[in-house]
């Protein structure tokens, strides 16, 4: 197994198999539902080779690994011994859960497996539009109709697909869940007028092309399943449990959950139609196109899919969201092209920017967002400018998405029923977003951290020393007064192995924390135990205060800096009560690491045994 070692480490760092309730994946990330999020060692996971970033919010515990996530996930499933794509063999009954988080978990994890067939249907519709317009296949031919049936079937049988995806997650036998779904979409029930059950008239409801009614029914079916299993003797459960469940669920679905879900879906569509009618689709599209990278970053990108599915099922098109997704994705690609053109000398940066440019244009933006946007921040502004302009244009001109297909390959689906005007307007919106974001990113520029180190050395030599051998070096002052020790002596393999970079460690004897270098604060962890500083000469410095002190959640830490602040070497940036941390049972050893040490000739620790904030703790040799 190619990813066995990687997955084994992931399982360990998220708290072990018993801490994993469920796991699914999307295009670039593993989405865990953990029993206790606090058991996951997020910092260590972020530092693993092959992990782009970790996002932990009310949706899920998400580990971003890249577009090869499917291969990683398949091996992870085998190693965990999962009984399905949504449930492990462990049990957490009786555990109190946040109801909002529970709903978000179910919707997100149930929609994710449905994306491949939905995207397939969208791209197939785009392909059929092209071949029919070229005259290769007539839209009245049997060949065209057969392939178009795939697209129609995906949405018509959406309740069945949802039942397959959500049943195990909601504690339902998947075959019974699918049985309920195919029953309500059958021609005897779906959209039939004048039905009654036990003499009670039933509303005329079209269950096909929807998913909310079956999702609500499956939720209730989970409770019914538990109840029936308790009252039916073990010896006859095989025969009577399925029967009783279906006898209860058919009336409950047709009388309660079906109508409730149908009208709820109609309400969602009605709300957005009113919003677009009286406020304007231009505002919705402009805001979503501008802000989608933030939505993706928080792992909530899939939450528009239920709305999109409802809109396409009822209106025949989506007037806002899928178009906005494509416009925003292309804007991300434009921003990365702007950075690619701006990075003149740094070959590593050019390679990174070029790679993520292509993936964003094709509809996968996570590598750009987590690999570049989070680090440099300015591309967010570029996408807000470019994406906002493109979304505004698309909204004002009434662009519509006739199927679920985003990115460059999804553009032909905007032809619709021969509507070339809609296609050209969408292409224009995409060009506006791409060019606008590229120009904005180029003008905003790359923050000075490693772009033109040679020019930096010429312009700012006050931090650079030259020894007797003619080697140039940047001295780093001590971050805290104390006893200096070798990094290899630290009781944390992530640091002692040198895996995070070269550096030193200090056993503090005072509480004040100082900046070791002139630069910009790149990150301050919410728990305040770790600080990142990008030096003026391109150095990337990580200050890690104590070992496992992330568990203190900021207690005993008092920092007076925030992300983006400019700091000077020797400047006090905070205070830490090391005595109380030590009394709480934690190792107070403080590590200072040059995380991009490979970019330099060497990192040499000071020979001093004791250091204070005015002393040099190590030197970065530039060559």
pLDDT in tens, 209-262: 777 889 899 999 999 999 998 898 877 888 889 999 999 999 999 999 989 988
Supply the DSSP symbol for 254: I
- Of the listed ranges 314-323, 440-449, 458-467, the least confidently predicted one is 458-467
Tell whether 103 is covered by a domain. Answer: no
Instruction: Let me know whether 416 and 521 are in one domain.
Output: no
Instruction: Let me know whether 125 and 84 are in one domain.
Output: no
Strand order in the sheet with 512-514: 512-514, 572-576, 557-559
Structure tokens at 303: 């939450």
pLDDT band at residue 452 under the 50/70/90 scheme: very low
pTM for this entry: 0.49
Query: Other C-beta atoms within 10 Å of 533: how many?
Result: 28
Tell whether 450 is covered by a domain. Answer: no
What long-range pairs does 599-606 form, CB within 8 A, spacing at least 24? 599/450, 599/538, 600/539, 601/471, 602/502, 603/501, 603/502, 603/503, 604/473, 605/484, 605/486, 605/487, 605/503, 605/504, 606/484, 606/504
Quickly tell me which residue has 């996968």 as its tokens: 364
Three-state SS at 207? coil
Q: Who wins on pLDDT, 109 or 180?
A: 180
Task: Select from 92, 127, 142 the last residue of a domain.
Answer: 92
For the chain, how many residues are written? Answer: 623
Instruction: Let me know whether 232 and 179 are in one domain.
Output: yes
Tell whether 195 is covered by a domain. Answer: yes
**Cα-based torsion angle of the residue sequence 134, 138, 142, 143 in order, rounded to the nearest 10 degrees:** 0
Instruction: Let me know whether 291 and 356 are in one domain.
Output: yes
Instruction: Let me know whether 241 and 307 are in one domain.
Output: no
End-to-end CA distance of the chain: give it in Å, rounded. Answer: 42
Residue 46 has pLDDT above 50, yes or no: yes
Tell whether 104 is covered by a domain. Answer: no
Give the span between the Cα atoms of 137 and 140, in whole angstroms.
Answer: 8
Residues near 476 by Cβ (< 8 Å), separated by ≥ 6? 516, 517, 539, 541, 569, 592, 616, 617, 618, 619, 620
Give the span between the Cα atoms of 60 and 85, in whole angstroms.
Answer: 15
Residues near 245 by Cβ (< 8 Å), separated by ≥ 6? 173, 176, 221, 224, 225, 228
Which pLDDT does position 285 carry in this prediction?
86
Beta bridge partners of 616: 477
Give the span between the Cα atoms of 534 and 390, in whole angstroms.
Answer: 34
The predicted-structure confidence for 6-38, as pLDDT tens digits, reads as follows 989 999 999 998 899 888 776 677 888 888 888
Task: Select from 92, 122, 147 the last residue of a domain.
Answer: 92
Helix axis angle for 321-342 and 347-361, nearest 10°, is 160
User: What's the whole-number mean pLDDT along residues 133-155?
Assistant: 83
Give the span between the Cα atoms of 222 and 105, in whole angstroms.
Answer: 16
Give the span between the Cα atoms of 334 and 328, in whole angstroms.
Answer: 10
Judge contact between 170 and 226, C-beta under 8 A. Answer: no
Could you give the number of structural domains in the chain? 4
Tell whether 395 is covered by a domain. Answer: yes
Residues near 491 by Cβ (< 8 Å), separated by ≥ 6? 547, 587, 589
Q: What is the CATH number for 585?
A: 2.70.70.10
The predicted-structure confidence for 307-361, as pLDDT tens digits, reads as follows 777 777 677 788 888 888 899 889 999 999 998 888 765 666 777 788 778 878 8
Instruction: Let me know whether 464 and 595 are in one domain.
Output: yes
Instruction: Let me know whether 264 and 323 are in one domain.
Output: no
What percentage of the chain reaches a pLDDT higher than 70?
Answer: 85
Task: Select from 444, 476, 503 the last residue of a domain.
Answer: 444
Tell whether 451 is covered by a domain. Answer: no
Which pLDDT does position 458 carry in this prediction?
39
Instruction: Let me know whether 428 and 299 are in one domain.
Output: yes
pLDDT band at residue 303 under the 50/70/90 scheme: low
Domain of residue 594, residue span: 458-621
Residue 151 has pLDDT above 60, yes or no: yes
Judge contact between 521 and 532, C-beta under 8 A. Answer: yes
Which pLDDT does position 390 carry in this prediction?
93
Instruction: Let me know whether 612 and 468 are in one domain.
Output: yes
pLDDT band at residue 435 under the 50/70/90 scheme: very high
Quickly tell me which residue has 């070959």 as its tokens: 347
Tell whether 449 is covered by a domain. Answer: no
Half-sphere exposure of 58 (CA within 13 A, CB side): 11
Half-sphere exposure of 158 (CA within 13 A, CB side): 24
Which whole-number Å values give the CA distances from 573 to 519, 536, 538, in the listed order? 12, 17, 20
26 catalytic, yes or no? yes
Instruction: Let me know whether 176 and 304 are in one domain.
Output: no
Query: Other C-beta atoms within 10 Å of 289: how many?
Result: 33
User: What's the whole-number mean pLDDT along residues 490-495?
Assistant: 79
Quickly tell me which residue has 């606008």 as its tokens: 436
Instruction: Let me know whether 352 and 464 are in one domain.
Output: no
Structure tokens at 554: 């900021």
- Tell me phi and psi for residue 3, to 5 degrees: -110, 25
Instruction: Let me know whether 333 and 467 are in one domain.
Output: no
CA 229 to chain centre: 38
- Of the listed ranges 86-90, 541-545, 552-556, the least confidently predicted one is 86-90
Average pLDDT score, the chain: 81
Identify the CA nearest to 123 among candidates 163, 160, 154. 154
Quickly tell me which residue has 């449905």 as its tokens: 114
The predicted-structure confidence for 563-598, as pLDDT tens digits, reads as follows 888 888 889 999 999 999 999 989 999 999 988 887
Q: Which of 14, 22, 26, 320 is catalytic?
A: 26
Radius of gyration from C-alpha coordinates of the chain: 28
Query: Other C-beta atoms within 10 Å of 89: how many?
Result: 9
Tell whether 278 is covered by a domain. Answer: no
């Amino acid at each position: 197994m190619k990813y066995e070692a990687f997955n084994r480490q992931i399982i360990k760092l998220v708290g072990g198999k018993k801490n994993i309730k469920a796991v699914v994946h999307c295009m670039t990330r593993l989405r865990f539902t953990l029993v206790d999020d606090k058991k996951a060692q997020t910092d260590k996971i972020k530092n693993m080779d092959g992990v782009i970033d970790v996002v932990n919010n009310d949706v899920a515990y998400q580990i971003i690994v890249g577009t090869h996530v499917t291969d990683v996930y398949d091996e992870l499933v085998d190693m965990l011994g999962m009984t399905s794509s949504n449930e492990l063999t462990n049990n957490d009954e009786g555990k109190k859960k946040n109801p909002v988080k529970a709903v978000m978990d179910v919707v997100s994890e149930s929609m994710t497996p449905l994306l491949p067939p939905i995207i397939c249907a969208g791209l197939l519709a785009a392909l059929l539009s092209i071949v029919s317009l070229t005259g290769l296949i007539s839209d009245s031919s049997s060949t065209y109709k057969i392939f178009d049936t795939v697209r129609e079937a995906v949405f018509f049988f959406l309740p069945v697909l949802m039942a397959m995806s959500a049943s195990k997650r909601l504690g339902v036998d998947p075959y019974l869940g699918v049985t309920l779904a195919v029953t309500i979409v059958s021609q005897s029930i779906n959209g039939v007028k004048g039905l009654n059950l036990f003499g009670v008239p039933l509303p005329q409801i079209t269950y096909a092309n929807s998913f909310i009614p079956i999702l609500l029914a499956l939720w209730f079916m989970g409770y019914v399943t538990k109840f029936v299993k308790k009252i039916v003797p073990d010896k006859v459960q095989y025969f009577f449990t399925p029967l009783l469940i279906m006898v209860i669920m058919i009336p409950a679905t047709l009388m309660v959950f079906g109508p409730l879900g149908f009208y709820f879906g109609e309400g969602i569509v009605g709300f957005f139609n009113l919003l677009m009618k009286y406020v304007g689709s231009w505002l919705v599209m402009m805001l979503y196109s501008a802000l989608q990278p933030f939505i993706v970053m928080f792992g909530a990108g899939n939450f528009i899919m239920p709305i999109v599915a409802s809109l396409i099922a009822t209106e025949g098109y989506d007037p806002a969201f899928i178009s906005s997704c494509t416009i925003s994705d292309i804007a991300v690609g434009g921003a990365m092209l702007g950075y690619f053109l701006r990075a003149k000398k740094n070959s590593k940066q050019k390679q990174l920017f070029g790679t993520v440019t292509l993936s964003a244009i094709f509809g996968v933006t996570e590598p750009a967002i987590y690999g570049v946007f989070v680090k440099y921040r300015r591309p967010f502004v570029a996408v807000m400018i470019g994406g906002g302009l493109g979304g505004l244009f698309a909204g004002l001109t009434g662009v519509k998405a006739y199927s679920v297909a985003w990115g460059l390959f999804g553009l032909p689906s905007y032809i619709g029923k021969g509507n070339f005007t809609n296609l050209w307007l969408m292409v224009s919106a995409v060009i506006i977003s791409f060019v606008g974001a590229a120009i904005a990113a180029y003008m905003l520029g790359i923050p000075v951290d490693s772009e033109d180190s040679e020019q930096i050395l010429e312009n700012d030599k006050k931090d650079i020393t030259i020894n007797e051998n003619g080697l140039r070096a940047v001295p780093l002052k001590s971050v805290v007064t104390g006893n200096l020790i070798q990094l290899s002596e630290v009781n944390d393999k992530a640091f002692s192995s040198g895996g995070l970079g070269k550096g030193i460690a200090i056993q503090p004897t005072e509480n004040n924390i100082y900046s070791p270098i002139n630069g910009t604060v790149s990150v301050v962890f919410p728990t305040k135990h770790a600080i990142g500083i990008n030096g003026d000469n391109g150095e990337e410095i990580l200050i890690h205060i104590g070992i496992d002190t992330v568990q203190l959640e900021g207690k005993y830490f008092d920092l007076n800096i925030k992300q983006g602040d400019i700091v000077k070497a020797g400047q006090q940036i905070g205070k830490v009560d090391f005595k109380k941390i030590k009394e709480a049972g934690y190792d107070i050893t403080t590590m200072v690491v040059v995380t991009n040490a490979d970019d330099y000739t060497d990192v040499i620790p000071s020979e001093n045994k004791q250091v204070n904030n005015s002393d040099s703790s190590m030197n970065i040799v530039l060559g």
